Chain A
Amino acid sequence: MFSIEVRDLKKSYGSLKAVDGISFTVKQGEVFGLLGPNGAGKTTTIEIMEGLRERDSGEVKILGLDPWKDGYEVHKKIGVIPQDFTFFEKTTPKEAIKYYANLFNVKVDADAILKEVLLNEMENHVFESLSGGQKQKTGLALSLVNSPEVLFLDEPTTGLDPNARRAIWEVIRKLKTKGKTIILTTHYLDEAQQLSDRVAIMDQGHIVAMGNTEEIIQQHGSGERLEIHGNQQLAEYIKANTELQVEYNKVKEKIIIPLKKKIDMLAALAAAEQSGIPWGEIQTRQDSLDDVFIKLINEPLDEQEEEGIEQKLNKKGRR
């Protein structure tokens, strides 16, 4: 049974195709990450799933219901934290939970929910006095009031400091163990990797890769490679004395050798030892999700890859 089915979903704003024919399904109890730079179409996608936006075409079923037409029914069964969650300034988290519970006409233990989202010590502070992380936790708390089957978290940790992010992660992990289906958008790779069972990488309205982390790396990554810390002379020596393909990264002073077979590693190391040229640290590496992400996102790379992803993502921001 799929909690969520999306087929050939399209949505344009004027001439901008925000979402351009994406399809995916999410199983019950799964944590599904929509990963992509700003402007990739993540929020549009998630808002269509939440019934907050009307789609142009395609099919969307949330727990078997159309979120736009059956919004009222769908909203009883889902929990949502919108991007940049805000609430009434002068209302405390505890009052907010009671407010939601009364609107949904359900009985809840406000203290238990506050504890669940690690917010119990701030229950009587008004919303405007809370920190960014505490505000997000209030959002999480509210999204839990109606005991939803599906949770939509739109960039739940954007703009938070590392500690606050980790705290939110902890809460999300706890929810996962309770069997909630969770859709999460993020532009943080580590967040997607840490929390999701499966990830869809979105770019310019398309899904460019989908699966669990290993699957994506396998499909789109470049396989295993050996990296030797050393000078260019050594790189040339290895190249001349083996049949291996050798690249040299001047900035990092790294000799990079893609490994077709495990045995290639021995040949490379033997050549290095033979050369008499000193060499340092060795490691074998596979493309990480970061590498794949950079490769898939449709923009030429910066020279300084290291500073990398974060900067690049911000630059791409369209909305």
Chain B
Amino acid sequence: MVSLRRIYVDFKVFSVGYLRNKFGLFFGLIFPVILILIFGAIFSGESGTVDIYAQNQDEGIYVPSGMGIGGAVDINFGEEFLRALNESSTIRVITVNPSENFADFLAAHSASEGIVIPASFSRDYVSGQQVNITVYGSPASSTSGIVSGTVGGYANYFNLQHYNGNMIIGITSATVNTQQTTYIDFLIPGLIGFSILTNPMFSLVNIAADYKKNKLFKQLSLTPLTKMEWLIAKVLFYIALSAAGFLLMILVGVFAFGAHITLSPWLIPFLILGPTLFASLGMLIGTVAKNPETAGVIGNIVTFPMMFLAGTFFPLSMMPGYLQAIARVLPLFYVTEGLNNVMVYNNIPNALIDIAVLSIITGVIFVLAVKLFKWRED
């Protein structure tokens, strides 16, 4: 049914037309690079709070009455310690279930910093025996320095409170083999996601609504080309465009900003699924809208929140919890998260989940777009 020859023919005509349109080329390829330059320049310095994962294994201690605290209580100094740490301006603590294997957890969450408080923490602290908190960090990471410094500072504070500064709570360092990530490392996949979203989306919304209004679809329906073939040709074009944009952005990121990027075949699914998804979604919007103006508005309503909330320009972890929850329903999230997992954190198992989710969304949207979009009228 589907003819590769016709897809190729339509692809060719569309590509030639696109390349003749300087405006389209600018927005397709150059604009995302300009964004990298701008955002890269703005955020080249690091600042702000560091998120760290913390596992409190402390079993606590029972303190009978008459010890100067009031009645008999269970005290967990581990919890106290983490609470104090969280109140610092430099660190935000994210607690991890004590049953997790912490090193694995850090790897799975692509984190390079974390702390573990041992089971005997309260007992040893109360009895004055030395006890060590394990601080995970990467020697290459400047944030790891901040973390160990801050944790050390609070350990001293606890030591001072009850032991006049004698070293009861100490620090053990553990190394995490996660590379240091900088804003630019994160920005490159984000903006690749951005161009994967905006190029096919805006184009197809426009084309779908325009062709409908100008009766170009009717015109095409008089040829053997089918609507499915037409859409596949557009999808292929935007896959090619995304690949070109991808290479360009990687080059700029690496050479202009020294971004740390891992290239892997696992990027390919994202470079294929992303454009397919957003070309289909654009088509769908252009199809259901009554005229090009409405289509443009709906397109913007769908695109802009996705652009900002799906971890494109800012890391999701900077956002409040409810926004992070919203991000998870946005299809672009799985593109940017997936790209980050592959390119920055080298975390393939998580990328596989993104690929799976993305495949399902893409399949549904593509089928809907083909079904709902009409060549002819009733």
Q: Which residues of A approach B to under 8 Å, CB–CB?
A: 47, 50-54, 71-72, 75-76, 78, 80, 82-91, 95, 99-100, 102-105, 126
Specify which of A75, A82, A84, A90 is in contact with B17 (CB 8 Å cutoff).
Answer: A90
Specify which of A47, A52, A103 is in contact with B225 (CB 8 Å cutoff).
Answer: A103
Tell me whether B223 and A91 are in contact (CB under 8 A): no
Q: Which residues of the other chain, A, contact B99 by a CB distance below 8 angstroms? A: none
Q: Does B92 contact A (CB under 8 A)?
A: no
Tell me whether B20 and A82 are in contact (CB under 8 A): no
Q: Which residues of the other chain, A, contact B6 by a CB distance below 8 angstroms? A: 102-103
> CA of A51 to CA of B222 in the docked complex: distance in angstroms?
8
Shortest CB-to-CB span from A51 to chain B, Å, is 7
Specify which of A75, A83, A99 is in contact with B13 (CB 8 Å cutoff).
Answer: A99
Shortest CB-to-CB span from A184 to chain B, Å, is 17
> Known contacts being A95-B13, A95-B16, A99-B13, is A52 close to B5, with CB within 8 Å?
no
Specify which of A80, A83, A102 is in contact with B5 (CB 8 Å cutoff).
Answer: A102
Q: Which residues of the other chain, B, contact A50 by a CB distance below 8 angstroms? A: 222
Q: Which of B14, B20, B215, B223 has the most CB of A within 10 A?
A: B223
> CA of A78 to CA of B222 in the docked complex: distance in angstroms?
9
> CA of A86 to CA of B224 in the docked complex: distance in angstroms?
18
Q: Which of A83, A88, A105 has the most CB of B within 10 A?
A: A88
Shortest CB-to-CB span from B185 to chain A, Å, is 38
Tell me whether B224 and A72 are in contact (CB under 8 A): yes
> CA of A54 to CA of B21 in the docked complex: distance in angstroms?
37
Q: Which residues of the other chain, A, contact B227 by a CB distance below 8 angstroms? A: none
Tell me whether B378 and A103 are in contact (CB under 8 A): no
Interface residues on chain B, number (Cβ under 8 Å) = 24
Tell me whether A52 and B376 are in contact (CB under 8 A): yes
Q: Name the residue of chain A whose CB is nearest to the CB of B223.
A: A103
> CA of A104 to CA of B10 in the docked complex: distance in angstroms?
12
List, sorted by A's number, 16 A–B pairs whose CB atoms are closer than 8 Å: A50-B222, A52-B222, A53-B376, A53-B377, A75-B222, A76-B224, A80-B222, A82-B218, A86-B214, A88-B13, A89-B21, A90-B17, A90-B20, A90-B21, A91-B13, A126-B20
> Known contacts being A76-B224, A103-B224, A104-B223, is A86 close to B216, with CB within 8 Å?
yes
> Known contacts being A90-B16, A99-B13, A103-B6, is A52 close to B221, with CB within 8 Å?
yes
Q: Which residues of the other chain, B, contact A82 by a CB distance below 8 angstroms? A: 215, 218-219
Q: Name the residue of chain B whose CB is nearest to the CB of A80.
A: B222
Q: Does B256 contact A (CB under 8 A)?
A: no
